[in-house]
Chains A and B, each alone.
Chain A
C-alpha cells in the first residue's frame, strides 16, 4: 500500500535551518509530483511547494519562496523540504502528499503522510 512517512521535525530556534524528509513506498515514485502542505496550530491547511515527477519543475507559495527549497531523490524514493531562516510563524505540522491528476480539470492530493511537527521558538 502507498505510504508516505515524514521525518526531521523538532524544536528549533528562530533563524536556523531544518530539513524535512518524506520517505515513500508502495507506488512508482518517479511517476508522481509531490507536495508539501502545512497546518499551523489552530489554523487551516496551507499549500507550500510542489516538485514534478523528475524534479525539473518546482513551485512555491509566496509565504516560503526564497526560504524553502523542495527537492527529491528518485533513487531513494525520498522527498525533501529544506527550510531556512525559520520564523515563529513557520511552527506547524508539515505533511507530504502525492498529487493525482485524473483529468485536465481535476487535481487532488490522494495520499498523505502523518506529518512532522516543527516548532520554531523565538
Chain B
C-alpha cells in the first residue's frame, strides 16, 4: 500500500523559516493536506490542496508541491507552532483508502 514519508523531527529557531516534507507516490495524483496536532487537542487542518489555508490559519503557513513531494512551510515560526504535523492524502490503491504520514515533531528553539 502507498505510504507517506515524513522526517520524524525538525527544529527551527524562533522567527526563522522551516520546511516540513512529505513524500509519497500518490502525491503525484492527489494533493496532500497538512494537520497540526498538539497534545490533548484535536488535529487542525492548516494547508490543503495546491496551497490553501482555512480561515483562521495564520498566513505564515503555506504549502508547495513538486512531483511526489509536498512541503509545509512556516515562515517566521512562532512558539505556538511547536506541535506534531501530519500530512495526509487520498490513496486509491486497494479500497480507496486514505493515508497519513508518520508525523513530524516540530520544535521551536
Q: Do A and B bind each other?
A: yes
User: Given A45-B43, A45-B103, A103-B49, are A109 and B97 neighbors across the interface (CB < 8 Å)?
Assistant: no
A76 vs B39: C-alpha distance when bound (angstroms):
31
Per-residue B-contact encoding for A17-57, CB less than 8 Å = 1, 0 else: 00000000000000000010101000011110010000000
A35 vs B45: C-alpha distance when bound (angstroms):
15
User: Given A102-B49, A103-B49, are A109 and B35 neighbors across the interface (CB < 8 Å)?
Assistant: yes
Taking CB atoms, residues of chain B closer than 8 Å to A59 are 95-97
A38 vs B36: C-alpha distance when bound (angstroms):
15
Which DSSP category, helix, strand, loop or mixed, fits chain A's interface?
A: strand
A112 vs B54: C-alpha distance when bound (angstroms):
14
Give the B interface residue count (CB, 8 A): 32
A106 adjacent to B103 (CB under 8 Å): no
A44 vs B86: C-alpha distance when bound (angstroms):
8
**B98 located at the interface, meaning its Cβ lies under 8 Å from any Cβ of chain A in the complex:** yes
A106 adjacent to B99 (CB under 8 Å): no
Among residues of A, the one whose C-beta sits closest to the C-beta of B31 is A106
In the complex, how many angstroms separate the beta carbon of A120 from the nearest chain B beta carbon?
Answer: 20
- Size range of the interface on A? 20 to 34
Taking CB atoms, residues of chain B closer than 8 Å to A114 are 41-42
How many inter-chain residue pairs (CB < 8 Å) link A and B? 75
Taking CB atoms, residues of chain B closer than 8 Å to A35 are 98
B95 adjacent to A60 (CB under 8 Å): yes
Per-residue A-contact encoding for B82-100, CB less than 8 Å = 1, 0 else: 0010101110001111111
A97 vs B89: C-alpha distance when bound (angstroms):
15
B86 adjacent to A109 (CB under 8 Å): no
The 7 closest A-B pairs by CB, nearest first: A108-B33, A108-B48, A106-B49, A112-B42, A44-B103, A45-B100, A47-B98
A-B contact pairs, 23 of them (CB 8 A): A37-B43, A44-B103, A45-B37, A45-B86, A46-B100, A47-B97, A47-B99, A50-B96, A95-B43, A102-B48, A102-B52, A105-B29, A105-B30, A106-B31, A106-B33, A106-B49, A107-B33, A107-B90, A108-B33, A109-B88, A110-B48, A114-B42, A115-B42
